[in-house]
């Protein structure tokens, strides 16, 4: 169930609200929790199923010039585990919803830039966010306002990762209805074929997909987006299209993600995100990331620690 501030009560694992009633006054909040707890495996390496094992990122300028900037990202869900032991939670990590580690690997001038993000189950406890920046050779603890800073050279910020990466209880949710949209669930080329300087996919199929449309507004008036609209797949609760408005209420960015089936170690298939595009309509820039995931890799939870950032600072790698 839901608590008075929209927090999720007595959650163990799986989809929090398997039955969706369109007339339920709390449907927006319930869809937000279904999105947050959608199936993501027990851990994954983003880019792990891309040739080369890295996220391929291309930043396109308004004039069509492009920069390539690759990275890797590791994600773990320590307290709602289905597949990997220990189940259902890693001892000592029962109070954590997820941990995410992102490491820039190319080009050399940004290589080694690392962020570590820890999301706590306690709705009142803010995220922990640590950054290692090679140019100043130090690890610093970041305030959560940094969630709104653009992750150069891309148009993404931390809360744009996976379309919406904010703490669920920091926002309000309104159900806007059901909608049939065009989306892709069978991406075939990674990255997809496109014209140089243009983000639009060629040679890929589009499908009609049934979605729930949810509007997200921040409880904090200083937050970078006045609203975000997600189009959630009714089966997977992943979002296909995300629309964003800036603090002043002007249209700001749009994002769409392609999906593709990937094989798990036990032979089952699961959906993974493929290529994701974010477009900043105000400055004319776009970023593409091809980010196929390798799920259930069995990483130790100690990977998501300050010791890892210190290892990278000393020139080590974690591959």
Assign residue 12 a region: left if phi > 0, alpha if psi is -120 to 50, beta otherwise? alpha
C-alpha 152, offset from chain centre: 16
**What pLDDT, on a 0 to 100 scale, did the predictor assign at position 23?**
97
In a domain, 172, yes or no: yes
Mean pLDDT of 281-310: 97
Q: How many C-beta atoms surround the C-beta of residue 302 within 10 A? A: 8
Mean pLDDT of 118-145: 92
The domain tally of the chain equals 1
In a domain, 1, yes or no: no
pLDDT band at 144 (very low <50, low <70, confident <90, very high): confident
Nearest to 13, CA basis, from 74, 76, 77, 60: 77
Express each pLDDT in 231-255 by its tens digit: 999 999 999 999 999 999 999 999 9
C-alpha 122, offset from chain centre: 20
Q: What secondary structure, in 3-state letters, does the chain show?
A: CECCCCCECCCCCCCCCCCCCCCCCCHHHHHHHHHHCCCCCCEEEECCCCCCCCEEEEEECCCCCEEECCEEEEEECCCCCCCCCCCCCCCCCCCEEEEEEEEECCCCCCCCCEEEEEEECCCCCCCEEEEEECCCCEEEECCHHHHHCECCCCCCEHHHCCCCCCCHHHEEEEEEEEEEEEECCCCCCCCCECCCCCCCCECCCCEEEEEEEEEEEECCCCCCEEEEEEEEECCCCCEEEEEEEECCCCEEEEEEEEEEEEECCCCCEEEEEEEEEEEECCCCCEEEEECCEEECCCCCHHHCCHHHHHHHHCCCCCC
In a domain, 11, yes or no: no
In a domain, 4, yes or no: no
Asked if pLDDT for residue 308 goes beyond 80, the answer is yes
In a domain, 21, yes or no: no
Express each pLDDT in 112-124 by its tens digit: 999 999 999 999 9
In a domain, 22, yes or no: no
Q: Contact 278/241 with Cβ under 8 angstroms?
A: no
User: Which CATH number belongs to the domain containing residue 166 in this structure?
Assistant: 2.50.20.10
In a domain, 19, yes or no: no
**What is the extent of the structural domain holding 150?**
30-313
In a domain, 217, yes or no: yes
Express each pLDDT in 53-103 by its tens digit: 999 999 999 999 999 999 999 999 999 999 999 999 999 999 999 999 999
**What pLDDT, on a 0 to 100 scale, did the predictor assign at position 149?**
87
């Amino acid at each position: 169930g839901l608590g008075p501030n929209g927090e999720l009560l007595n959650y163990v694992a799986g989809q929090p609200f398997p039955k969706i009633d369109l007339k339920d006054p709390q449907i927006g909040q319930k869809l937000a929790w279904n999105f947050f707890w959608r199936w993501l495996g027990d851990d994954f390496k983003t880019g792990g199923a891309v040739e080369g094992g890295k996220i391929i990122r291309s930043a396109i300028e308004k004039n069509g010039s492009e920069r390539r900037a690759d990275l890797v990202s590791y994600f773990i869900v320590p307290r709602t585990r289905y597949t990997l032991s220990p189940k259902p939670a890693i001892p000592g990590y029962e109070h954590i919803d997820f941990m995410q580690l992102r490491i820039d690997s190319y080009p050399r001038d940004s290589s080694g830039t690392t962020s570590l993000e820890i999301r706590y189950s306690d709705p009142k406890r803010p995220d922990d966010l640590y950054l290692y920046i090679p140019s100043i050779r130090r690890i610093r603890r970041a305030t959560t306002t940094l969630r709104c800073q653009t992750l150069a050279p891309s148009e993404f910020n931390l809360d744009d990762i996976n379309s919406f990466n904010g703490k669920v209880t920091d926002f309000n949710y309104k159900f806007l209805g059901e909608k049939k949209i065009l989306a892709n669930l069978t991406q075939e080329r990674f990255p997809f074929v496109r014209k140089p300087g243009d983000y639009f996919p060629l040679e890929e199929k589009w499908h009609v997909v049934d979605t729930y449309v949810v509007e997200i507004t921040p409880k904090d008036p200083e937050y970078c987006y006045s609203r975000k609209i997600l189009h959630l797949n009714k089966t997977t609760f992943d979002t296909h299209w995300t629309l964003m408005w800036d603090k002043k209420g002007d249209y700001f960015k749009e994002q769409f993600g392609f999906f593709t089936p990937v094989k798990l170690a036990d032979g089952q298939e699961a959906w993974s995100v493929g290529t994701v595009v974010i477009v900043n309509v105000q400055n004319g820039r776009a970023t593409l990331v091809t980010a196929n995931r390798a799920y259930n890799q069995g990483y130790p939870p100690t990977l998501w620690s300050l010791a890892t950032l210190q290892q990278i600072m000393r020139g080590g790698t974690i591959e």
